Amino acid sequence: MNILILGAGFGGLELATSLSDELGDEHEVTLIDKGEGFVFGFSKLDVMFNRAAPSDVFHPFRDVDKPGLTFVRATVESIDPVAKRVETDVGPFEADILVVALGADLDPAATPGLVEEGTEFYTVAGAFALRDVLAAFPGGRVVVGVTSTPFKCPPAPSETVLLMHDYLVERGLRAASTISLVMPFQIPIPPSPDASQALFAAFAERDIEWVPERMVTALDTDRKVAVCSDGSEIPYDLFLGVPVHRAPAAVIASALAVDGWIPVDPLTLETAFPAVFAVGDVTSVGTPKAGVFAEGQAAVVAAQITARIRDGGPPATYDGKGVCYLEFGHDLVGKVTVTFLSGEAPTGGLEGPSEAIAADKVAFGTSRVQRWFDRQWAVG
């Protein structure tokens, strides 16, 4: 059996590892990615706020070395889900089972003014470049704004304003600055009223302005004003943006995409095309676009594929559960456990924030690096 995984991010790495663990070298697993390595989403904030160096948070794909698994560096150009055939810049690949784990692409150019300002913190390049921008920032009006939905890791903008507060306090610039957060929601984390209340308390304590139910649709870079979806304007000296998200072009051009993302069976993650699965941010499965959900979905697809190959009993199905860590500043981290099941309102409680959960978050990252790359990761 020939299994082809497109995308070596959170979902693809977990799936490739699980399949290698389960199947060894009995079957061929090929993992394709256009990049040189993996960076956790949360590491972008660590680099931007100078809590880690770029080289500390980069995990090269050359370290992926597992039985039965071949990594190929290539850009996927088109996907034929009927033939299970993929065209890439290094040639075609064919599969018996195909899994699309290509994540979400980011499009700063879709928001007028965002590229000129150059300050988005969602791409690796954008977040890493902000490290120097923040170091040179003399203080002033900081606006963190979301430009569209859906967007990855919905807690990340809230984490960013709290970490920004600490950053400015440490540099003696907080009194000369204001911090505002523009979000499309009524509360910061809609599935978790508890986490949202804790964030509201943290914002109030730190004098962070919460601007709800709005998105930033453009930046007027001459006037240094963020223009919002309701027509209101917010002046800024430093704008930190969450750019527009879309599925990669090869996905949008394929028969897999419906309304911009890949619909899947919420229990098995199989697409409308037999033996073609999709996991993570590229899907419209209904969970937030976050690594923990991509990873949970990958584990289910691994079980589905293994059961199919071995003709075993009914495999595990997806439970929609994920644990999100939430940076509260002051080196404290909270933990939100949320379950998204179709037809039911998602619910999530908050644990912490505490130093113990901050240590849990470090262990979360180091355990994945050990599992996927077979090496130790000394963070920070």
Ligand X SMILES: Cc1cc2nc3c(=O)[nH]c(=O)nc-3n(C[C@H](O)[C@H](O)[C@H](O)COP(=O)(O)OP(=O)(O)OC[C@H]3O[C@@H](n4cnc5c(N)ncnc54)[C@H](O)[C@@H]3O)c2cc1C
Give the integer Cα–Cα distance in Å for 152 and 281. Answer: 8
Residue 76 near residue 101, CB atoms below 8 Å:
no
- Cβ of residue 121: shortest distance to ligand X, in angstroms? 6
Residue 144 has which token pair? 């963190």
Q: Which stretch binds ligand X (CB under 6 A): 5-13, 180-188, 252-260, 330-338?
A: 5-13
Give the integer Cα–Cα distance in Å for 216 and 243. Answer: 10
Residue with tokens 């923040």: 134
Q: Is 246 in the site for ligand X (CB under 6 A)?
A: no
By beta-carbon proximity to ligand X, the closer residue of 72 and 221 is 72
Q: Is 373 in the site for ligand X (CB under 6 A)?
A: no
- Cβ of residue 253: shortest distance to ligand X, in angstroms? 11
Site for ligand X in 316-335 (CB under 6 A): 324-325
- Cβ of residue 223: shortest distance to ligand X, in angstroms? 28
Give the integer Cα–Cα distance in Å for 202 and 196. Answer: 10
Our CA angle for 230, 235, 241, nearest 5°, is 75
Q: 106, 120, 107: which is closest to 48 by C-alpha? A: 120
Q: Which of 3, 30, 33, 154 binds ligand X (CB under 6 A)?
A: 33
Residue with tokens 């150019």: 109
Q: Is 368 in the site for ligand X (CB under 6 A)?
A: no
Our CA angle for 7, 12, 16, nearest 5°, is 125
Q: 56, 62, 349, 305: which is closest to 197 by C-alpha? A: 349
Q: Is 152 in the site for ligand X (CB under 6 A)?
A: yes
Q: Which of 44, 59, 174, 214 binds ligand X (CB under 6 A)?
A: 44
Q: State residue 359 phi and psi, 5-degree precision.
A: -70, -35
Q: Which stretch binds ligand X (CB under 6 A): 101-109, 205-213, 333-341, 366-374?
A: 101-109
Q: Is 45 in the site for ligand X (CB under 6 A)?
A: yes
Site for ligand X in 254-313 (CB under 6 A): 280-282, 289-292, 294
Residue 51 has which token pair? 């809590």
Give the integer Cα–Cα distance in Å for 306 and 31. Answer: 17
- Cβ of residue 89: shortest distance to ligand X, in angstroms? 9
Residues near 377 by beta carbon (within 8 Å), at least 6 away in sequence: 59, 365, 366, 369, 370
By beta-carbon proximity to ligand X, the closer residue of 225 and 279 is 279
Q: Which of 102, 202, 228, 262 binds ligand X (CB under 6 A)?
A: 102
**Nearest residue to ligand X, by Cβ distance, number only:** 9
Tell the burial category of 145 from Cβ atoms under 10 Å away from its Cβ (0-12, 13-18, 19+). buried
Q: How far is CA 289 from the centre of its chain?
A: 6
Q: Which stretch binds ligand X (CB under 6 A): 38-46, 128-136, 340-348, 371-379?
A: 38-46
Q: Which of 3, 10, 64, 100 binds ligand X (CB under 6 A)?
A: 10
Q: Which stretch binds ligand X (CB under 6 A): 33-41, 79-87, 202-210, 369-377?
A: 33-41
Residues near 363 by beta carbon (within 8 Å), at least 6 away in sequence: none
By beta-carbon proximity to ligand X, the closer residue of 227 and 327 is 327
By beta-carbon proximity to ligand X, the closer residue of 73 and 141 is 73
- Beta pairing partners, 233: 227
Dihedral sign from CA coordinates of 325, 165, 156, 64: negative
- Cβ of residue 29: shortest distance to ligand X, in angstroms? 16
Q: Which residue ranges make up the site for ligand X (CB under 6 A)?
A: 7-12, 32-35, 41-42, 44-45, 75-76, 101-103, 122, 152-153, 156, 248, 250, 280-282, 289-292, 294, 324-325
